[in-house]
Amino acid sequence: MGILVDEHSRILVQGITGQEGSFHARACRAYGTQVVAGVTPGKGGQLFDEEVPVFDSVAEAVKETGADVSLIFVPPPFAADAIVESADAGVPLIACITEGIPVQDMVKVGRYLQDMPTRLIGPNCPGLINPGARCKIGIMPGDIHLPGRVGVVSRSGTLTYEAVGQLTDLDIGQSSCVGIGGDPIIGSSFVDVLRLFQEDPETDLVVFIGEIGGTMEQEAAAYIEEEFTKPLCALIVGATAPPGKRMGHAGAIITGESARAESKIQALREAGATIIPTPADIGSTAQKVLTGG
């Protein structure tokens, strides 16, 4: 079953005629995803790969194709407007891959989406995938995924791929994998995704990958302790990062005691999570929890 997307999801790609958008739109289609439309202002009426219609606006694309997911590959200065355009068109799920969107822009987007029935994944994320449904909304390599019953949620795109690779090598399939993004302000939090995994009858265990910066992991720990009933393996990276220095992601910066890896690990351990010692132990730790070893 998985979460958020399935074989019926109909995807439009904003920025489909650009270099990144076209490359990943083709990869999504090759995986099996229903890419039904593209949006590039000024290029409406064209066909992408001789099959996918391109529209000047998201509203047109939704009206003509029934698209219900937007995948955004729009340059940072224009990405916030692209998110708002999809929300205004009634798209219920948006995945924004764009990195480098100004924080001030995302503050405005966050406020704008508060009272709207739209879920945003990202920005600065790899997107999401449901291997069983052959539906890939993002930039992750589809061939490393295996259908199964383990959910993956991560702030890091690269570590999402690493986790999936290790799980697949051990013949442990995934129900869905979601990269929530590494910026200080993102659409969906760990708690938002964990709630979906909690409700998914085909997810038996969750692999959770957090990092230094912010308090999202502590908020997730509180939710896990109070409501989450499934086993969860957690990895927190960035333990050796010096205070005040940003490490990779814009949100990965230690700005207080709660932002440190040690504080996050302690909170998750106390909530009942099984702590993954190092990135190399993701698969083996999940296997032990699944088998009761």
The set of catalytic residues is 249
DSSP-assigned states of every residue in the chain: --SS--TT-EEEEETTTSHHHHHHHHHHHHHT-EEEEEE-TT-TT-EETTTEEEESSHHHHHHHH---EEEE---HHHHHHHHHHHHHTT-SEEEE------HHHHHHHHHHHTTSS-EEE-SSS-EEEEGGGTEEEESS-GGG--EEEEEEEES-HHHHHHHHHHHHHTT--EEEEEE--SSSS-SS-HHHHHHHHHH-TT--EEEEEEESSSSHHHHHHHHHHHT--S-EEEEEE-TTPPTT---SSTT----SGGGSHHHHHHHHHHTTPEEP-SGGGHHHHHHHHHHT-
Tokens found for residue 85: 């355009």
> Across the chain, which distance is largest between two alpha carbons, in Å?
58
Q: Residue 122: which of 105, 135, 143, 134 has the closest Cα?
A: 105
Distance CA(188)–CA(211), nearest Å, equals 16
Distance CA(247)–CA(152), nearest Å, equals 22
